[in-house]
Structure 1
């Protein structure tokens, strides 16, 4: 019998981490192409187009689809008849594979995992440990699925124990309406029903690893209650009108997946986990014939698209003042050129601490009249000025917005909606909020012509950078009058 070695496992997991960082699953690309072709909302169609352009660029350039290269989830099924040549815990071997994949110098990936989550929250510097789920069967192989899940979509996960008489459909629809766009739609919605609390969450996560096949189900018709629920949710979620990036449109989900498990008669555990526009997972088996080999997808599955320029306004940031921001209205597409600063959660916290202490920021950094981009970029390789640098979810910065407005920032760039108090502040201070497309990180990075850390270098990817950008694509999400595209867009396309 062939032997499965430690090195086979390490190399396979490392190769999988690299592969999924720059290749979307083929079925997902095909679903996105279909969504692009049928989209009627100009803003949403442009966003899907950017995601597809980014996806093809990443496939060709072998760089990450999203700056949030995710935390790793591994599903492992070990055959009881498999012959293993390992001398350590399998979990340690799998984590060595993750570390090797994330530290590959040819395609460095962002380290997002922190230890001591309720305390120091210190970055582990190699994106380990992975979240590993193990089971066994009677085969002579090891079956492995590796998935990378970004924080934006994971943070939108929902769980509840319903009464047996409650409607799962109503619970899901209510939560989808509240979920907003921070999970970067269009994507896939995974639902787990039954078991107990932890089992239903696991089912929801596992369901996301399945192929996009909703149209096959629609063509043949549902054959049981779960399929009926799946199809009804798919159709009705898309009627809510959230659309790509929350801009309003006809496609919010490409598919809805459901797995179930028997449960206690007195309970109905239900979990919901979305997978974003950077859906990333791959399945492989090890049978003793060496490390897994992953086939390159055919580049012909991606259409040749370009960002439409007929309605785009080119903007020189250096020419902007608070007084002339009012020329830009919610829904406008802009190409920004000039210098912007970056700041995420940790940097915002430090900025407020410095403000409250009456201290100037390090190195003479001034925020007044500057645009702040919510981003934690991937480290550059070769001749890059910066690695993939797409936006992070903006609502996490809402708690800091009043302080930032008092400092005098010009505006903010991020992704997804803002809460109403933040919108009110934008209107009060005659500021603006712009969004870049989540899931288009490599495309966005091509517009960054120079990048340097200017403060808080110890924060790693959360340090304050100064980016010099040329024609960076953004959409006006909240204008100086407080009009939000994330309110007006979905309202226009809502049919349910």
Structure 2
């Protein structure tokens, strides 16, 4: 009977989490490279180029692909012939592996997990606890799949109890546009059908652990109804024209994965879990012979794509920016930002709101400033800041009118803004700029210095002041209210419908 040492499981989990923080799965980068070659939308092609360039940089530099290093989910298929040599629970052993990975001195990962989720939401500081799913199976080995899921994509999860006669395809096509771009497409859609509500959700998540094989599936042809459904959804979701980062284009999903389970005769539960451009997951096996360490991938299989700034991009001096200059920006313009910008996310915005509500003075002025929605990874060595890609801007929508009223000139984030926020931006004659989600290490190279200027106790959610040079962004909502996250997909949906 194989005995799995506690230390072997801890080391293997820790190694896997470090590995997936900076190495994309090879199937993903190859599929994304193929999408890059066929993409005809300039904005989407530029976004994919940034993601692919960031992927290579992260692999070489051993720094996170994305600043949101995720909530850890672990799927364990425990062979019934195996014993865990530990006085601790399986959850505790796996969490120790998570703890060590996220505190690794040469590549610390961002701790994003908060306890007491309904009330105080205190950061646990070590990214534990993880979410563990265990299945006892026949055999003399332990199969472990480790994933790290960012909040931007996890928050776009959808579920519905369909009637037995309802169309799965119709529901998916109605639902995907409501997910916006906060899940950082192009990625994958995981779908769970059947069982109970919670079973459908778990299946949708677990389906994302499978290799990308849509091209191979189409080449050989479907052999089951589920495979036919995968192909149909892949083609019809891409025909929506949402595109990379929601800017409009040919590729929204690289693959669609489906798992199903028998369900009640009166029910048809269905769940969608999207996987973002970071798509972090890995698999290892333990058989009692020692820890399992993942092999280093061969970077020669990475697409030969090197992003550079658009030659038509406008350079913007943030230290001399005026409202008149902001009003000259047009939706879709590429900008290169240089100078000092502030940062702020959910917790900082809430605290600003509370201070204003009590009539207290703010610790920093936002007049004529630009704010970047970001929660960076801690720096190592001589880095001014760790990977620092944008967070989903939609979460700050309810604070936008307040912030623009304080004199803010612009905001930088990822994904779309809501209708009320677009109206507020237009009324104030300001702008929302989009940075590419999934290109955090690339973006961080534009940051020359960083210092905390307010709310230091909030950790990665504190307000920093970054000094940036040539930080690439796209004008997503211009001062006249033009919104590329609406116009881009609409344009490409029409082009796809007409056969290009």
Q: TM-score range by the shorter chain?
A: over 0.9
Residue by residue over 1:14-43, the C-alpha shift from the partner in whole angstroms, topping out at 9 and shown as x without a partner, is 111100000010000101101111100000
CA contact (8 A) 2:49 2:305 kept: no
Find the aligned partners of 1:134 and 1:95 in 2 and give their Cα distance. Answer: 14
Where does residue 23 of structure 1 map in the other structure? 23
How far 1:308 moved relative to its partner?
4.4
How far 1:328 moved relative to its partner?
1.2
How far 1:324 moved relative to its partner?
1.6
Where does residue 282 of structure 2 map in the other structure? 282
Show the 5 A alignment for 1:366-405: 366-405=365-404
How far 1:306 moved relative to its partner?
2.5
Q: Secondary structure at the match of 2:420?
A: helix
CA contact (8 A) 1:391 1:437 kept: yes
How far 1:83 moved relative to its partner?
4.0
CA contact (8 A) 2:316 2:336 kept: yes
Q: Which 4+ stretches in 1 moved above 4 angstroms?
A: none
Find the aligned partners of 1:406 and 1:485 in 2 and give their Cα distance. Answer: 24
Find the aligned partners of 2:284 and 2:248 in 1 and give their Cα distance. Answer: 37
Where does residue 112 of structure 1 map in the other structure? 112
Q: Secondary structure at the match of 1:327?
A: coil
- Structure 2 residue 453 is the aligned partner of structure 1 residue 451: no
Where does residue 309 of structure 1 map in the other structure? 310
- Structure 2 residue 491 is the aligned partner of structure 1 residue 492: yes
CA contact (8 A) 1:24 1:278 kept: yes
Q: Structure 2: which 5+ runs fail to align?
A: none
Residue by residue over 1:159-205, the C-alpha shift from the partner in whole angstroms, topping out at 9 and shown as x without a partner, is 11110000000111100111110100000000000011010001100
Where does residue 89 of structure 1 map in the other structure? 89
Find the aligned partners of 1:359 and 1:346 in 2 and give their Cα distance. Answer: 17
When normalised by structure 2's length, the TM-score is 0.98
Where does residue 144 of structure 1 map in the other structure? 144
Find the aligned partners of 1:39 and 1:350 in 2 and give their Cα distance. Answer: 42
CA contact (8 A) 1:65 1:278 kept: yes
Q: Secondary structure at the match of 2:384?
A: coil
Show the 5 A alignment for 1:130-169: 130-169=130-169
Where does residue 333 of structure 1 map in the other structure? 334
CA contact (8 A) 1:83 1:140 kept: no
CA contact (8 A) 2:390 2:414 kept: yes
Mean Cα displacement is larger for which, 312-321 or 188-197? 312-321
Q: Secondary structure at the match of 1:315?
A: strand
How far 1:133 moved relative to its partner?
0.1
CA contact (8 A) 1:246 1:490 kept: yes
Show the 5 A alignment for 1:166-177: 166-177=166-177
When normalised by structure 1's length, the TM-score is 0.98
Q: Secondary structure at the match of 1:93?
A: helix
Q: Secondary structure at the match of 1:474?
A: strand
CA RMSD of aligned residues (A): 1.0
Where does residue 193 of structure 1 map in the other structure? 193
Q: Secondary structure at the match of 2:78?
A: strand
Find the aligned partners of 1:160 and 1:83 in 2 and give their Cα distance. Answer: 39
Where does residue 220 of structure 1 map in the other structure? 220
- Structure 2 residue 471 is the aligned partner of structure 1 residue 472: yes
